[in-house]
Every structure is written in C-alpha cells, then in structure tokens.
Chains A and B, each alone.
Chain A
C-alpha cells in the first residue's frame, strides 16, 4: 500500500517530498521542523511551542498576519508542537499552492526581521491562556505533566511539558526567541511534503523558487539522553477539582520503531482499548470497579511510555483497580494474547493504515505521514515497512514485550478530589505538576 512519491533534497538541505492525488482540486502543504520541546533547556521550557504561535504573526515580506491571505484563498491552516517535532500545514485549492509556498518560505527565511516585542508578549499571554484552558482549568488536566515529570529525571528532554512552565514563559526574552530560531528553523532541519492535485515537476520548481535561496543553518546536534531510569516503583498523588479518583500507571518503553514498540501497541489494544479489551471486561463490565479504562503505547523519538488509566466507580477504590491491572498485566506477560485477540488487533491495525490515507493534508493525512517517515526514518516510503511491523507480530512477541515492561519500575499516579489525599494508593507522595 506504499504511495507513490518523489523525494529531492535541495542544495540547502531542505527535503522536498511530492505525492500526486488528483481526486479533488486541492493540495496539502506540510512542513516539519525537527525541533520540539526535547530541544529546550531547563529554565527555557515552552519555547518550541511558543515559537509555533509566533510563526503565524507575519514575516519580513508579508507582515500582515499569516491567516488572512490563506483564508481568502479558501485554505485550512494549522500547526502543532510536541516533544519531538513541530509541524505546520495548509490545505489549499490548487490555484493557491504558490501562495502557501511563498508564506511558508518567507517565515522559514525571514521571520525575525518582522518579530516585535508586541507580537511576542501578546502570543506569550495567548500561550499562558492555552495552558490555563487545556491544563489548569480542566479536570485531570495536569495529570500528563505530573506523569512525565515523575517518569523522567530532571535532565531528561521529556521531563518538562511541551506547553512549558509558566514562570519560564514569563522570563523568556526576544533574544532567547531569536537564538532558538537561528538554531532550529532553517532548511537543513526541515522537510516539506506536498500532496494533491499537482504536477510533480512544476511543483518542485515552485519549491525551488521560493525555498532554494534560503541559507542553511548550523547542524542541529542530536539531543543527549541521560542514562538511568526509575530506581523503583514511584507512587504520587495529585489533588484536583474532580469528583472521582483516577489511577494512571506508566512505564518507560522502547522508542518509536524500536523493537517492542509495535508489540506494545498491540498489547495496549488487547488490555485496554475498547469494549473487547481485558480490562474493560473486568473493571467496567463484570466487576463494575471503574467507569472507564484506557491505555496506549506513546511512541516517541527518544523513547516511549506505556500508560494505563482508569476512573474509580462510586464506592470503589484505586487500590481495587490497581490490583486488577497488575493481575491482568501479569497474565498477559505469562501467556500472551489469544489467537483471537491477536487477529482482531491486526485487523484493526491494517484498517487504520487504510483510513489514514483518506486525506491529503491535516494532522494525519498523507503529507504529514510522508514527513513523519522522512524525519524519523529517513525514508518517506515507509508505509509498508511500518505496517509489516504489525502483521509479522506473533503472540510470543507481544508476550515478551509485556514481560519486559512488567519487569520495569513504574509510576502510579493517583488523581483524587481536593482534600481527599487518603483516596490515593497507599504510600503516595505529592506529585510535582506545575
């Protein structure tokens, strides 16, 4: 099911990936910068994401806002930042491809001359409000931050949240921003994918026209990952404005595409995804200990983490839930999935690969996937290789991956109602979540 594409690297280092699909008169433009919160330093957190906001505020040769001309053209526009990378995309009518390429190239090459103190301080306030809305003023909203803070030591690039710490954001200066841009935002650290109603040769010529003159920047060093992990099981508690206590358990796991990553995806499916999963049957359906259960392998570039979460039903405790989870995981580590469970998980994985090809753009469309494979594997055409990681899995592979997981120390986070610290797992210490 590999999709046809061409890949060209410009003299300045920019990777250009082009895929034709003439179904609709639209084109997706998708730019990845290989920079995320992992590239920040303690004390200067939240930068990669704050930067994403500034990229929409205009550049030297078009300093009137990024959105208006694209909206007039009928485009959809967005961007996102995570620990590993930042992506920006437009989906435009065919006739607006050149417009999108001009705007993307201008902010890649000429952002800083247009960046003012006013833009910077306003977007910093917007980001602090994003943080309030999505983390601080939302039930269980700080759980993710509490978990990664505990899973990774303070010098690990995944220790701090992508949204950043508010005091760091407040202390950031325009000079810090300029320095961050110079190091990470240049053609040598970027990859652009075009997918849709285009002729590859003329599309490549357009990219060369707008991006070819941009100078490449300094090589970006690989992020150092400190060795050493959790000494033993860590139990933490976070009080929040919630009605029901919820338990999160997580382990550090292999990185994206490493051995064990796909097997843990399947393990999460078997144990915690949907109404067929083992924990749903036991915790929610049969014993009614929990209102919900979820889980997944979070695949990331430096390393992953595997997390299970479940909310206690009225009158039930997190200790009840913890006992069931530990037993279920032990059972899977001992005996692996059944034939039926593995078949089902693989059928779902295969269908999901097809569904992901339905859009040319956006956060998971074909252009975004081509860039993901290019940035993480150096090969945009990794669809089949990626799917094969799943289809060749055996029951023993899944069992062994869970066995290795269960042997590692874990973090158990109890999120409990304010003033109800006694509802946490025994021996929990106050979580750090700021």
Chain B
C-alpha cells in the first residue's frame, strides 16, 4: 500500500553512551588507555604528546612538525624501507599529526597484529634513526612544499589569517613553519627537541578496537621504554601576549584569480570555556551546517560559492573563530558584506529564533550516535579527553548540556565571541574586485605572498 506523500514524523531512537576508558599508569607516569570497540577485527593504536607547534622555539618555527615528519624515516634498528615494509605487511601506514597543542602518531591494523604494531609504534616514537641524509632530504622537500603552497589560495589564507588574529602569540604561525626557520634548522636541533622536549612530555598511548586492556598494557610494557626521570609539566600559557586589535582588512593580490579565498574571524574560545555548548548551538545556526544562515545566503540564495562554513577551533588557549569560503571574484566585496551582516545579525537585531535553536539542538544531539562508528572516530574523541583533561563521560554530558542551552545564552555568546566590531578579514584574490572602504574594516593592507 502506498503512503500519503507528506513528511513523516521522526520516531525515537535508542540512545548510546560513550564507551568506558580502561586506564593504566606506568611507573614513569605515562598513560595507557584502552577502549573496547568490537565488531570488526581492527584496532587503532596511537600515542599523543601534549606539545604542538605552539611550543616551537621562536627562531625554529616548524621544528615540532619537522621532527614528527622525520620519525617515520626509520628507527635505530630498521631503515626507512624496512620500517615501511614492516608496516605495510600489517596492512598499516603511519599517520602523524601536529597541531598547535599536540603531536600524535598512530596507525590502524588488524587486531591480530596488535603486539607487533605496538612495538613498531614504540620504536618509531622513541628510537628514530635521524639519519643526516634523510634529514637533508625531508627538510629540503618541506621547504619546496612551502614554496608550492604559495599557489594554494586556501593555504595562504590560513597563514595570513593566523598572523592577523594572533600576531606574536604562539598560535600565530602555522605548524609547518616558514622557509627561513626550516633552512636554519639542524639535525642537532631535531635530536635535542625530540629527546628533551617531545619525549619529556607525558604521553598517552591509546588503543581502540577489538582488544583487551590487559593485552594492550602487556604489549606496551614489552615494547615502550620507560622515561628516566620525571616528565615535565606543561609550559604555562602565553596568555600575556597582547593580541592584535581588529577590525582589519588584508589582501594578498592574486592577479586574475577566478575566485577570492576569504577568511573572516577573530580569536574565539578555549576548549575549557563554560560556553562550549551554547557556542555549538550558535555556530550551527550561523554557519556550521549546510542550512546555516551564511550558507543559505551565499550559496543557496546567491550562488556565489560552492560552500561556506564557520568554525570554532577549540584549543588549550582561545582558538580561532573563522568563516571560510571561496567566492567568485566578482562577488568578493558583496560576499564579505553579507558575512559581516549575518555575524552582526545573530548577535544583534536578528537573534536566533526559538525554532532555529530547537533545530540546532536536535541536529547536535541526534547526530551523536553516528560520531563514534569507527575505531579512529573513537580515538579522536579519547584524544580530546586526554589532551584537555575532560571527564570520561564528557561526550554524554555534552548532549545534555546542548539540550539545556537557552536563547539568552545563544545571543550572549554571539555577542561575546563573534562580535562584529573587531573582525579580521583576509582576502586572497584579484584586488580589482575588492572595494574595501564600504566594509568599515579600516584601511586595506596589502600583504606579500611570501611567508617570510
């Protein structure tokens, strides 16, 4: 029998709870965390060090990232080819990631390979080969890549935007560094940094998948060296560094570019903010989803862009709030004005409506179960808990917190965190399409393409 053609009601779905984390602290203070995630014979193994590019020495921007990149060039007992051959035979390849606050190294493998994969991961993390020939090649290739990135509008926009909103703050440079600092970096810098800084922070070794905690602890104890002496506490934050004041308008000229790459934003909120749930609701309405106000305006109403979104990047200290998009060149000025209007609106004369808030809350809470499907997804969540000291039931609590957010809270966080008065705007595009005066962002500053 056919159905009436109208939107069916959404039924209830069973809820889920974030799985328990089994924890073990080793003699040196390092942590081994396991989450059993059954179903397929797969395990995601990783190690998280709570230090990232924000800890780069002032004259060695890119050092953390370069060091991490060199780890998989071989270990003291396995040269690069032998190491990658061993990984490939486990059906794995190493993934390294360096962000502003943390460095992580991990792999996915079949769970029957857990012991062997743990041993390889430990060897890579703790006993790198650091061969001079590998160092020269990897560093030179990173320099070449930095030069190549000048032709990637999104990469240029990210770099300039970070500089604009953070200035001399440690979040002001990109993890990959700059040409001059990479050229100045030596293998001794890398060796020292690895031993005295990276390995001196407290690692969290995580296993998520079809494994038992006792087995994981055994694998780690068999392979992972204990640190001589205590791990260092985390360095104090850089909260004293003065941030540049907005508004500002910066342009990197890209002659005849088909589109203009845009960033609009400011320094937002830290991971520890008590406003986290309210910000999630506010951003969902403003620009966090396809049906958000900004995407509806720029893509679905005007067709200016393939897509636009706004994000809050929550870090140990306040991370960036940014609207990012790429718009057809002829629409550059109008698109910026539209974005500013939407940001002003949600914190001012067009506050989020009750219907918008209910929808955003539903979207955020009902999407919860599908966020933890794969071992890698669960690992990313566990890493958040490890890095930011969140309670183990944090993600369950988030669902409850979102459902309690009020309209006043949404307006309040819009005013405080997305205030339109001090926004920084970055444009990578042809200057002939930008009419800066009309935007009320102060004088247009042209920036060079080079990163030095």
Task: A164 to B367: give the CA distance in the assembly, Å.
Answer: 34
- B291 x A68 contact (CB < 8 A): yes
Excluding A133-B305, A275-B80, 17 further A-B contacts by CB distance (< 8 Å) are A25-B16, A25-B369, A71-B363, A72-B362, A72-B363, A74-B362, A74-B364, A94-B11, A102-B8, A106-B5, A126-B306, A129-B306, A137-B326, A209-B2, A285-B80, A348-B88, A354-B40
Asked if B89 and A139 sit within 8 Å, CB to CB, the answer is no
Structural contact, B259 and A132, CB atoms closer than 8 A? yes
With A67-B290, A132-B258: A75-B88 Cβ-Cβ less than 8 Å: no
Give the residues from 61 to 93 in chain B that come closer than 8 angstroms, CB to CB, to chain A: 72, 80-81, 84-85, 88-93
- Chain A contact residue count (CB 8 A cutoff): 78
Annotate B275-315 by CB proximity to A: 1 below 8 A, 0 otherwise.
Answer: 00000000000000111000000011111111000000000
Q: Once bound together, how far apart are the Cα atoms of A350 and B327, in whole Å?
A: 42
Chain A CB within 8 A of B15 CB: yes
Q: A132 to B141, alpha carbons, bound, how many Å?
A: 28
Chain A proximity mask over B127-138: 1 for CB below 8 Å, otherwise 0: 000000000010
Show 10 residue pairs from A and B whose CB-CB distance is below 8 angstroms, ordered by the A residue: A61-B5, A69-B7, A95-B11, A96-B11, A132-B326, A133-B305, A138-B152, A139-B148, A139-B151, A276-B88
CA distance A110 to B5 in the complex (A): 10
* With contact pairs A93-B369, A212-B2, A281-B81 given, residues A243 and B151 touching in the complex (Cβ less than 8 Å): yes
A133 to B324 alpha-carbon distance, docked (Å): 13
**Partner-contacting stretch, out of B97-105, B370-378, B408-416, B433-441:** B370-378
> With a CB–CB cut-off of 8 A, which chain A residues contact B204?
none
- State how many angstroms separate the Cβ of B403 from the closest Cβ of chain A: 13
Q: Please measure, in the bound complex, the distance between the C-alpha atom of A398 and the C-alpha atom of B137, giving whole angstroms.
A: 32
Q: How far is the CB of B215 from chain A (nearest CB, A)?
A: 19
The distance from the CB of B220 to the nearest CB of chain A, in whole angstroms, is 22
Per-position 1/0 for B1-19, Cβ under 8 A of A: 1110111111111111000
Set of chain A residues within 8 Å of B237, measured between Cβ atoms: none
Partner among A110, A351, A360 whose Cβ is within 8 Å of the Cβ of B91: A351
> Does A210 contact B3, Cβ atoms closer than 8 Å?
yes
Instruction: Say how far A139's CB is from chain B's closest CB, in angstroms.
Output: 4
**CB of A122 closer than 8 Å to a CB of B:** yes
**A216-254 vs B, Cβ < 8 Å mask (1 yes, 0 no):** 000000000000000000000000011110000000000
**Which residues of chain B are within 8 angstroms of A212 by Cβ–Cβ distance?**
2
Asked if B224 CB lies within 8 Å of chain A CBs, one says no
Also in contact, A136 and B258, with CB within 8 A (given A74-B368, A93-B13):
yes
A136 to B147, alpha carbons, bound, how many Å?
Answer: 20
Q: Is the CB of A25 within 8 A of B14?
A: yes
Chain A residues, Cβ within 8 Å of B137: 284-285, 288
Q: How many Å from the CB of B132 to the closest CB on chain A?
A: 14
* A291 contacts partner chain B, Cβ-Cβ < 8 Å: yes
Whole-angstrom CA separation of A85 from B64 in the bound complex: 44
B381 touches A (CB below 8 Å): no
The contact string, 1 if C-beta is below 8 Å from chain A, for chain B 356-367, is 000100111111
| Chain A residues with CB below 8 A from B72, complex form | 275
Which residues of chain A are near B291, meaning CB under 8 Å?
A: 65, 67-68, 71
Query: In the complex, what residues of A have CB within 8 A of residue B197's CB?
Result: none
Complex contact A343–B89 (CB within 8 A): yes
B306 touches A133 (CB 8 A): yes
B153 and A137: CB pair below 8 A? yes
Q: Does B379 contact A (CB under 8 A)?
A: no
Closest Cβ of chain B to A66, distance in Å, is: 9
Q: Assess whether A359 is interfacial by the CB under 8 Å rule.
A: yes
Quote the shortest CB–CB distance from B368 to chain A (angstroms): 7
Inter-chain CA distance A194–B168, complex, in Å, is 52
- A96, A138, A243: the one contacting B147 at CB < 8 Å is A243
Q: Which of A123, A285, A343 has the most CB of B within 10 A?
A: A285
Select which of B89, B144, B151 is within 8 A of A347 by beta carbon: B89
Q: Mark each residue of chain A from 266 to 286: 1 if its CB lies under 8 Å from any CB of chain B, else 0.
A: 000000001110000100110
Q: Tell me if A344 and B148 are in contact (CB < 8 A).
A: no
List the B side residues contacting A137 at CB < 8 Å.
153, 257-259, 261, 326
Is B40's CB under 8 angstroms from A358's CB?
Answer: yes
| Distance A241 CA – B16 CA, assembled complex (angstroms) | 50
Bound-complex Cα distance A73 to B359 (A)? 9
Q: Is A263 an interface residue (CB 8 A)?
A: no
Residue numbers of B with Cβ under 8 A of A are 1-3, 5-16, 39-42, 72, 80-81, 84-85, 88-93, 108-110, 137, 140-141, 144-145, 147-148, 150-153, 257-259, 261, 289-291, 299-306, 326-328, 359, 362-370, 372-375
Query: A350 and B91 in contact (CB under 8 A), knowing A25-B15, A68-B291, A243-B150?
Result: yes
Inter-chain contact B88/A274, CB cutoff 8 Å:
yes
Contact B8 A99 (CB under 8 A): yes
Cβ-closest chain A residue relative to B256: A241
Known: A68-B359, A94-B14, A132-B259. A24 touches B369 (CB 8 A): yes
Report the minimum CB–CB distance from A247 to chain B (whole Å): 15
Q: Which A residues are closer than 8 A to B by beta carbons?
A: 23-26, 60-62, 65, 67-69, 71-77, 91, 93-96, 98-99, 102, 106, 110, 121-126, 128-130, 132-134, 136-139, 197, 209-210, 212-213, 241-244, 274-276, 281, 284-285, 288, 291, 311, 313-314, 340, 343-344, 347-348, 350-352, 354-355, 357-360
Q: Pick the contact of A351 from B110, B153, B303 — CB < 8 Å?
A: B110
Given contacts A71-B359, A96-B13, A358-B375, contact A125 B303 (CB under 8 A): yes
* Chain B min CB distance to A282 (Å): 12
CB distance A98 to B11 under 8 Å?
Answer: yes
Contacts of A72 in B (CB 8 A): 10, 359, 362-363, 366
Q: Is B91 in contact with A26, judged by CB distance below 8 angstroms? A: no
Given contacts A26-B369, A351-B92, contact A344 B85 (CB under 8 A): yes
Determine how close the nearest CB of chain B comes to the CB of A222; give it in whole angstroms: 32
Minimum C-beta distance from B69 to chain A (A): 12
Return chain A residues, CB-CB under 8 Å to B85. 276, 340, 344
Collect the chain B residues with CB atoms within 8 Å of residue A67's CB.
289-291
Do B299 and A126 have beta carbons less than 8 Å apart? yes
Bound complex: CA of A354 vs CA of B209, how far in Å?
A: 13
Q: Are A355 and B10 in contact (CB under 8 A)?
A: no
Contacting residues, chain A, for B3 (C-beta < 8 A): 102, 209-210
Complex Cα spacing A73 to B364, Å: 9
Query: What residue of chain B has the Cβ atom nearest to residue A24's Cβ?
Result: B369
Are B305 and A126 neighbours in the complex by a CB distance under 8 Å? yes
Q: Are B84 and A76 in contact (CB under 8 A)?
A: no
What are the residues of chain A within 8 A of B152 when measuring CB–CB? 138-139
Residue numbers in B under 8 Å from A274 (CB-CB): 84, 88, 93
Cα–Cα distance between A123 and B304 once the two chains are bound (Å): 10
Among A73, A102, A132, point to the contact of B328 (Cβ < 8 A). A132
List residues of chain B with CB within 8 A of the CB of A311: 148
Are B151 and A24 interface neighbours, CB within 8 A? no
| CB-contact partner of B303 in A106, A123, A209, A288, under 8 A | A123
Chain B residues with CB below 8 A from A285, complex form: 80, 137
Q: Is the CB of B303 within 8 A of A126?
A: yes
C-alpha spacing A68/B6, complex, angstroms: 15
Which residue of the partner chain, among B1, B89, B144, B368, contacts A209 with CB atoms under 8 Å? Answer: B1
